[in-house]
Chains A and B, each alone.
Chain A
Amino acid sequence: MINGERGGHGDYELFPLGDCAVLIRFGVVMDEALNRIVHAFAAQLEEKPFAGMIECTPAFASVTVHYDPLAVMRSRTQAESTHSTIYETVSLRLRLYLPTLEPSDMQTERTVVEIPVCYGEEYGPDLAFVAEHNGLTEEEVVAIHSGSSYLVYMIGFAPGFPYLGGMPERIAAPRHKTPRTVIPAGSVGIAGNQTGVYSVATPGGWQLIGRTPLQLFRPGQTPPSLLQAGAEVRFQPIARAEFENYGRDA
């Protein structure tokens, strides 16, 4: 059975993901403190990648580390050359990073990003549904949504798409039973207890409450995503005219 092995330092498990990746799981719940460990670990790897590492993908409570097995094999030390597999070498190299995680690494200030949103009407065709579902007025939904701050736990699903935590349950709403075939980029939606912003046009089942004129996916720019994991997001209501003229003065 291919179960993970438990680590000695703090709680984590390692799992092989195919021939070229390892998953390090720090937990199984969405939790701010766990997520800080994830990003501190990912930052360490990025700063001092081991020989043969390609990149890592931080998620809610885990980090996936992608590696080139040949490059790892060629960089093995004499001690490592006794390992039966490349995976074993990578696992042991990864464990070396874990004890060096300091609580101070996890106290970093959060970058705050304001996202202007034109709520309702054609940009938020489901705002009325979300209001009705929760026994609120549309104005109240907007006030609650834009009055909260959200943590970007991770970027995934689509380029630049943020998984946000912190939406008040008072505005939660179920997904559409039949997903829309195309949702325009910039759409702000609610699905269950989550809110998010579509970064590219894709099919999707989220309840759409508004749209931002900001581009979340910026191919060719460094970094190519407006938001990074660990940032704090606040939504700023804007009028329709402001949405339509956004960026024209610049």
Chain B
Amino acid sequence: MSLTVIRPGILTTIQDLGRTGYQRYGVVVGGALDPGAARVANLLVGNAEREAVLEMTLGGSVFHFHKPMIVAVCGGDLSAELDGGLLPLWRPVYVNEGSVLRLGTSVSGCRAYLAAAGGFDVPEVMGSRSTYLRGAVGGFEGRALKAGDELSVRQPGENAERIRQLLTPEPGEDAQIRWHAGHFAIAGSGEEQIVRAVPGTHFHLFTSKSRAAFFSQAFRIGIQSDRMGCRLEGPTKLQLEAPLEMLSEGAVLGTVQAPPSGEPIVLLADRQTTGGYPRIAQVAAVDISVLAQLKPGSRFRFEAITRQESERLYLAGERDIQLLKAAIALKLRAI
């Protein structure tokens, strides 16, 4: 046993990058809602990027560590504190035996990810450690964490040991690790965010008023939003020009569906594998993290981009992660 959950907070689950290969059986992909933050957190502690991490929602979580270990917290700023002091985000941190990590309230963002060197030790179900709440599958007993749960972390590899050396130097040496990945943080907190999206396969079937409103009006993140999707509220309801008979078809991350209510839903990690609502738009994969970090009640606007641009942004985002990986490998080799 490596750490105890003292308080789970609003919703804390174990997630990795999702469960692929089983969508044909209706098994949802799931995984971290902000995959970028989860990947970076893992890389910072020397893990493979798809290792299992804790996804903490809106703060309130408290953990007690029973073993010294290397951790990193990335994603939203939920006022993380380690033994009463501010815990720096987006960088590896050495945690002592007996330490307490506490998340307060959200300064910016909605979800924070805790990676521990070695990765959280829960069994893989269908090739993934992600918790799928509705199916009661994966993660920690197929459910959200509760007070008193005891989590184990697997034996960390060589990378973690090198990072530990960097973080706990001999007396008299500089104790501060100098590298961090803060540039992955979603910029801006208070003001209205922008989410880039490509017009969807049914965009042209919506009324001109709906089409115009979609890319101009401010949307509010509804309180009913969850791991399945962001429910959006806006002054203009999105309506089709004429009723559309639609068969269920495959659904993907970031699809903006418009059900008859006219209030769109952006599909997130725990989306169904198939859906039957018209697709008014498709959020660029790179901006899924922006949505995942928007709190219920906050506002944003969609900005139209082309499919080509969206793909270019995706590749650029992946390049950033590769660069971070290479930079960390270089640092560790230098020790």
A interface list, Cβ under 8 A from B: 1-4, 15-21, 23, 25, 28-30, 42, 54-64, 66, 69-70, 73, 84-87, 154-161, 163, 199-200, 202, 217, 219-220, 223-225, 228-229
Contact = CB atoms under 8 A, between A and B. Distances in A.
Interface in B99-150: 125-126, 134-138
Interface stretch (B52-60, B160-168, B199-207): B199-207
Q: Would you list the 5 A-B pairs with minimal beta carbon distance, nearest first? A: A64-B250, A156-B274, A225-B25, A57-B250, A60-B247
A154 B201 contact: no
B158 interface: no
B24 A219 contact: no
A64 B314 contact: no
Interface stretch (B37-45, B84-92, B174-182, B303-311): B303-311
Interface string B20-40: 111111111000000000000
B316 to A, nearest CB: 11
A29 B247 CA distance: 7
Given A23-B201, A66-B20, A157 B252 contact: no
Nearest to A73: B315
B141 to A, nearest CB: 12
A158 B27 CA distance: 7
B315 A69 contact: yes
Contacts of B284: 18-19
Given A55-B20, A86-B311, A157-B248, 4 more contacts: A16-B198, A18-B253, A156-B274, A157-B273
Contacts of B311: 19, 69, 85-87
A64 B252 contact: yes
Interface residues of B, number: 47
A145 to B, nearest CB: 22
A56 B24 CA distance: 7
Contacts of B135: 158-159, 200, 217, 219
Interface string B304-335: 00011011001100100000000000000000
A152 B126 CA distance: 23
A8 B198 CA distance: 26
A2 B26 contact: no
A228 B25 CA distance: 7
A160 B136 CA distance: 14
B255 interface: yes
A61 B246 CA distance: 11
B322 to A, nearest CB: 9
